Amino acid sequence: MLLTVREVGKAYDGRSVLSDISFSLNAGENALLLGPSGSGKSTLLNIVCGLQKPDAGSVEVDGELVAAADRSANSDLVRKRAMGIIFQTLRLVSALSVRANLALAQRLQAGSVDHEMIDDVIERLGIAHRASARPFELSQGEAQRAAIARALVVRPKLLIADEPTSALDRTNTETVAKMLFEAAQEAGATLLVATHDDRLRPFFERTFSLENGRLQPC
């Protein structure tokens, strides 16, 4: 198992958002986390990334504890080594060009910059011609691809995306979903995508739906 989520529970100010969430994904598998807005998808992904601490349960990635109710998890290190994250708001550093954004991620997560890989990834995502553009000069679709590229260039074992298509129109949504799916497959990465958009369902091998704090496989 590459990702194992065990009996995770989370409450904000006594209001339970997640309770007893358990699932696991194999290496190279992909899954969609579907649920309406406010259902706790982002909270769950944050816990999987080790950005938020669960109140109960634990998360393991590639055999290492990334989140646990107690302080024993080495979240930063696991995330750094094994995860590529695509944020809903993309979070590209606007002071840097696309290429520099990618290089920075590589330097921070992998320790060194691999320009060949960067060239390869932006080529595949079709933004090679925008490599020296700054994020605010990109179209929404290009920016989305740049964010995906940044998550890919760190050679992640687990690729996590929170609402990657929420800002996109219908055609772009499908393109990006397909792109994510293919990129993860090519990289051999496990893919976990959270969305409220039902249309993405056909692209993924597995779908979990989150409702009232509980996970229902479907």
Partner 1 sequence: MLRLALAYLRDRPLTTALNVLLLAISVAMLVLLLQFGSQASERFERDAEGIDLVVGAKGSPLQLILSSVFHIDQPTGNIPNSSLELLRNDPAVARVTPLALGDNFDGYRIVGTDQTFLVLHGARLAEGESFEHPMEAVMGAKVAEATGATLGQQFIGSHGLEDDEDNDSGHDHSPFRVTGILAPTGGVIDRLILTSVESVWEVHGIEHDHDHDGEEGHEHEGDEHADEAEHHEHEEHDHAFLVPGPAAGPVHLRQAVFDPSDTEALFRPAHHTEEHSEETAATQAVSGYEDRAPALQDRRAELEPELTALLVTYRNASGAIRIPAMINRQTEMQSAVPAVETARLLELLGASLDGIRIFAWLLALTGGLAIFVALINMARNREGDLALLRVMGASRVQVFATVILEGVVTAALGAAVGWLAAHGLITIARRSFPTLGDLGLTPWQPVAAEAGLIAAVLAIGALAALVPALKVYRIDPARTLARA
Ligand X SMILES: Nc1ncnc2c1ncn2[C@@H]1O[C@H](COP(=O)(O)OP(=O)(O)O)[C@@H](O)[C@H]1O
Contacting residues toward partner 1, per CB under 8 A: 42, 46, 49, 51-52, 76, 79-80, 85, 87-89, 91, 93-96, 100, 104-105, 108-109, 154
Pairing of β 214-217 and β 206-211: antiparallel
**Rounded Cα distance, 213 and 143, in Å:** 32
Nearer to partner 1, 8 or 154 (CB): 154
**What's the one-letter identity of residue 45?**
L
- Which of partner 1, ligand X, Mg ion, none is residue 80 near (CB under 5 to 8 Å by kind)? partner 1
- Which of partner 1, Mg ion, ligand X, none is residue 213 near (CB under 5 to 8 Å by kind)? none
Please report whether residue 41 would count as binding ligand X according to CB under 6 A.
yes
Indicate the helix (H) or strand (E) that contains 146.
helix 140-152
Shortest reach from residue 46's CB to partner 1, in Å: 6
Shortest reach from residue 177's CB to ligand X, in Å: 18
Please report whether residue 42 would count as binding ligand X according to CB under 6 A.
yes
- Which of ligand X, partner 1, Mg ion, none is residue 40 near (CB under 5 to 8 Å by kind)? ligand X
Residues 31-50 that bind Mg ion (CB under 5 A): 42
CB 187 within 8 A of CB 156: yes
Q: Which of 7, 22, 26, 38 binds ligand X (CB under 6 A)?
A: 38
Stretch that binds ligand X, among 35-43, 55-63, 153-161, 167-175 (CB under 6 A): 35-43
- DSSP characters over 155-216: --SEEEEESTTTTS-HHHHHHHHHHHHHHHHHHT-EEEEEES-GGGGGG-SEEEEEETTEEE
Whose CA is closest to 21, among 35, 29, 200? 35
Nearer to partner 1, 27 or 77 (CB): 77
Indicate the helix (H) or strand (E) that contains 191.
strand 190-195
Please name every residue paired with 15 in a beta bridge, in sequence order, or none if there are none: 12
Please name every residue paired with 3 in a beta bridge, in sequence order, or none if there are none: 25, 61
The residues that touch Mg ion, with contacts defined as CB under 5 A, are 42
The residues that touch ligand X, with contacts defined as CB under 6 A, are 12, 17, 35, 37-43
